[in-house]
Structure 1
Amino acid sequence: MASALRTSVRRFATTAIRAAAAETPNAYGVRVSKAQGSVDQLVGAIGNTPLIRLKTLSEETGCNILGKSEFQNPGGSVKDRAALYVVKDAEERGLLKPGGTVVEGTAGNTGIGLAHVCRSRGYRLVIYMPNTQSQGKVDLLRLLGAEVYPVAAVAWENPENYNWQAKRHAERLLKEDPEHGAVWTNQFDNTANRRAHIETTGPEIWAQTEGKVDAFTCSTGTGGTLAGITRYLKDVSNGSVKSFLADPPGSVLYSYVSSGGELKERSGSSITEGIGQGRVTDNLKQEVKELDGAFSISDEKTIEMVYRCLDEEGLYLGASSALNVVAAKEVAEKLGPNHTVVTVLCDGAYRYADRLFSDKWLKSKNLRDAIPKRLEKYIVLP
C-alpha cells in the first residue's frame, strides 16, 4: 500500500513537472529550438540569426529599430553567408572538387568565413591580403588553416592589387591540378554573394517581422548584403519597403546614389573596415537604382554609437555595425514615428578592441572628443 502510494506521488510530481515545463517562461526558446533542430556540420549553423530590438533608439525615435545579429554566425560576422554561397556556387558549377583549393583576396571577415567553410567542406584556402592589416588577422587566418600572403597595398586598378594576385594564383593552381580544381571566389563581383542574401537574410527578416518592415539600411563593401536584402524585400513587399545605403567617409557611393549616378573621385578615409567603395560592384550594380536614398555617416557619429550600443544595449559592436545603427536611427527620424527599420549588426568589436577603446588611438584619429563624458569610462586601454 505504502509502495503504491509512493508510486502515485512520483507520477503526480512527474506530471506536474511536465505541465510546468510546458508553461515555462522560455516557451519561445523551446519553439525556436524545435524549429532549428540539429544541423549538418558547421555550415548548417550559418544564418537564422535573431533580430534584436534596440530599446533606447526605438524609444528616442518612436520607431521599432531592429538589428540583425550577424555577429552570432559561427565565424562571427555577416560574411559567413557570402563565404558559404561563393563556395556552393563553385561546387554547383563544377569548379571545385573534393580536395580542391579556394583562393580569395580579402582584408577581413570574408577570409575568416571562408576559412571556416573550407575546413568544414575539406578544401584548401589561400588568402591574399594587403600588408597594412594587423598581424592578428594574419595569425587568425593561419590558425584556421589558411595559407596567407600579405602583399603591398595598391589600388584596384594596379595589376599587383591583392585581388588580381589571388586571381592569378587560382589560375596557376587550376593548370597544375585540374583534377581537384581551384577557384578565385571574387567576392566583390561574384553575384553568388548577393544570392546568399536573397535566399537567406532577406526572407529571415521578412519572416521575423511578419512582413511589418518599412525600411532597411546598411553599409556596403562588396555590395552583396545591401543588394540581396533590398532585392528580396522589394519583391516580397511589391516595392513598399524602402532601402537606404549607409556610407562612411572616403566612399563614392553616397554621392553616386544621391546624384543619380555620378561616380566622383574617391577622397578621404574612415575608421571603418571592409565598407565603402570607389566603384559600383557587380553585386550592387543590379540593385543600385532600387535604392530610395543614401546617408553619409561621419566617423564621429560612428564611434559615439559604438559606445552608446555598449552602454545602452549591452551590444559590443564593431565600427561598421555602429555605422549601420546610426543610419537606422537617421532613417527612422526621416520616416517619422511608428515605422519599423531593420539594419545589420555585421560583427562584434572583438577584433577591433585595441583601437576602438584605446585613448591613444582615439586621439590619433581626432575622435577622443566624440565620446560623451558619461561614456568615457569605456576607454579602458591606453
Structure 2
Amino acid sequence: MSQEKVDVLKALGAEIVRTPTEAAWDAPESHIGVAKRLNAEIADSVILDQYSNPYNPVTHYDHTAEEIYRSCNGQVDMLVAGAGTGGTITGIARKLKALCPNIIIVGVDPHGSILAEPESLNASTEGYKVEGIGYDFIPEALDRTLIDRWVKSEDKESFIMARRMIREEGILCGGSSGTAVAAAVKAAKELGPGKRCVVLLPDSVRNYMTKFLNDGWMHDNGFTDQNMASEQESKHLQWGGATVGSLHLKAAVTVTNTSRCREAILLMERNGFDQLPVVSSKNGRLVGLVTLGNLLSRIAAGRVQVDGQVQDVMFKFQKSGTHFTEITDETLLEDLTSFFEKNSAGVVTERGGSKVKAVITKVDLVSFLVKKATV
C-alpha cells in the first residue's frame, strides 16, 4: 500500500502492522490472518471485515445505486466498475438489474487477480501495482453471478489513463479509476447511439501522490507512453545534452564545520551569498550547507552564539541516505530540473564528494536557457 495511506492512518492514531503482499489470503502471515490473530489477542477488538460483511453490498444497494439511477433519470445501459472486495459492484448491480433489466454489468479485474470469469481469463500470475482491486481469493461480498462480463486490466493502461483524466478532465483520480475508465473505453464500443455507460471512479489521487503522479516512478516501472516519451525527448533537446561543466561556474567559497558563525556571516555578506558549503576541518570533504537565513534566525532566537561553530547550525548531508544528491561537472542539466523542484541550491563536487568545486542554483539554469535561446 502507498505511504500516503500509512501516514493518514498514523495521523489518526493507528498502529500499522505490515504484512507481506505475496502471502496467500488464508496464510497466517497474510493481512487477514494477522487481523484474526490480533482480534483474538486484543480485548474488545472488532474486525469490520469488508470481505464478508453483508452490509458492504447492502449500503451500495441502498445508496450508491439509487444515486446513479436518479442522476441518470432511470437510463443506465452499462455499468463498469473495478472489483475488490466486491461489495460496490455487487450492491449496485443487484439494484440496477432490478430497475434496468437490460443493463450490462462489466467487472474489471487486474491481470494477476482471480476474480474474473471464466477462469481462463485468470491465467496470469504476475503481480500488479494498482491498489484496491483484485484478489487471490473470492470475497464473500462479491456475487459474480450479477456480472455479465469481465475485462482484465493492465497496470500501464490504468496509470496512463488516470494521468490523462487528471490532465484533460481535471479529475484528481487514483489508479483504479484509470483502470475502470480504460476498461469502459473498450466495453462501451458495443453500445449504440444514445446509450449510457456509467463508470465508477472509487479513489482520489490523494493516496498516490508519490506513485503514478511521479514521472520517475512511471519510468522506473515501465509505464511511460508516447506522450511521456515525447516530453522527455523535448526536455532533452531543450538542454542539448549540456552538463554542469558547461556553465563554467565560479569556484566555491567554503567554510569548515568548526568555523565560527561570525566568520560564515562575514563571508556571505562580503560575497553577496546566502549560503555556503561546509567542509570537514579534518579532511576537507563536503559535510553540509549553512544558510544566512538559518544563521540569523538561530542567533536572534538565542539558540546559538555568534562565536558558536557552524556545525551547530548547518544542514547536514547524509551521503548514505536520500538527503544527498551528488552533482559533478558531468551531471546533465536536464537531470537537475527535478532536483531544483525541492532545492534552491546544489553543491558541485568532484566525483565521490572529495572536493567542493562550486555552488549551482536555479538562476544558473535559467541563465543558460536564456543564453541558448539568444544564440
TM-score (norm 1): 0.57
Structure 2 residues without counterparts, runs of 5 or longer: 235-336, 340-375
Matched, 1:326 2:182: yes
Distance 2:127 2:84 in 1: 14
Between Structure 1 and Structure 2, the one with more helix by share is: 1
The residue aligned with 2:224 is: 368
Measured after TM superposition, the shift of residue 266 of structure 1 is: 5.6
Measured after TM superposition, the shift of residue 245 of structure 1 is: 0.6
**Conserved in 2, the CA contact under 8 Å of 1:226 and 1:245?**
yes
The one-letter code matched in structure 2 to 1:302 is: S
**Conserved in 2, the CA contact under 8 Å of 1:194 and 1:228?**
yes
Measured after TM superposition, the shift of residue 353 of structure 1 is: 2.2
Q: Report matched runs for 1:1-382 at 5 Å.
A: 133-153=1-21, 154-173=23-42, 176=43, 181-237=44-100, 239-254=101-116, 257=117, 259=118, 264=122, 267-284=125-142, 287-369=143-225, 371=227
TM-score (norm 2): 0.58
Distance 2:26 2:124 in 1: 13
Measured after TM superposition, the shift of residue 160 of structure 1 is: 1.8
Q: What is the DSSP-based 3-state SS (H/G/I as helix, E as strand, rest coil) of the residue aligned with 1:150? A: coil
Q: What is the DSSP-based 3-state SS (H/G/I as helix, E as strand, rest coil) of the residue aligned with 2:182? A: helix
**Conserved in 1, the CA contact under 8 Å of 2:26 and 2:32?**
no
Identical counterparts, % of pairs: 31
The residue aligned with 1:109 is: none
Distance 1:332 1:370 in 2: 24
**Conserved in 2, the CA contact under 8 Å of 1:202 and 1:228?**
yes
Measured after TM superposition, the shift of residue 359 of structure 1 is: 2.6
Distance 2:189 2:3 in 1: 40
Q: What is the DSSP-based 3-state SS (H/G/I as helix, E as strand, rest coil) of the residue aligned with 2:188? A: helix
Aligned residues: 236
**Conserved in 1, the CA contact under 8 Å of 2:26 and 2:33?**
no
**Conserved in 1, the CA contact under 8 Å of 2:57 and 2:86?**
yes
Measured after TM superposition, the shift of residue 305 of structure 1 is: 1.0
Q: What is the DSSP-based 3-state SS (H/G/I as helix, E as strand, rest coil) of the residue aligned with 2:156? A: helix
The one-letter code matched in structure 2 to 1:341 is: C
**Structure 1 231/370 Cα, relative in aligned 2: closer, same or farther at 3 Å?**
farther
Distance 1:233 1:315 in 2: 25
RMSD between superposed Cα atoms in Å: 2.6
Q: What is the DSSP-based 3-state SS (H/G/I as helix, E as strand, rest coil) of the residue aligned with 2:70? A: helix
Measured after TM superposition, the shift of residue 336 of structure 1 is: 2.9
Q: Which has the higher contact order (CA 8 A, sep 6+)?
A: 1
Distance 2:48 2:189 in 1: 39
Distance 1:308 1:374 in 2: 15
Distance 2:137 2:226 in 1: 30
Q: What is the DSSP-based 3-state SS (H/G/I as helix, E as strand, rest coil) of the residue aligned with 2:58? A: helix
**Structure 1 209/374 Cα, relative in aligned 2: closer, same or farther at 3 Å?**
farther
Task: Output one character per residue of 1:294-323: Cα deviation in whole Å (capped at 9) or x when no partner.
Answer: 112222321221122122211121110111
Distance 1:303 1:277 in 2: 19
Q: What is the DSSP-based 3-state SS (H/G/I as helix, E as strand, rest coil) of the residue aligned with 1:204? A: helix
Structure with max Cα Rg: 2
Distance 1:193 1:252 in 2: 20
**Conserved in 1, the CA contact under 8 Å of 2:177 and 2:202?**
yes
Measured after TM superposition, the shift of residue 189 of structure 1 is: 1.7
Structure 1 residues without counterparts, runs of 5 or longer: 1-132
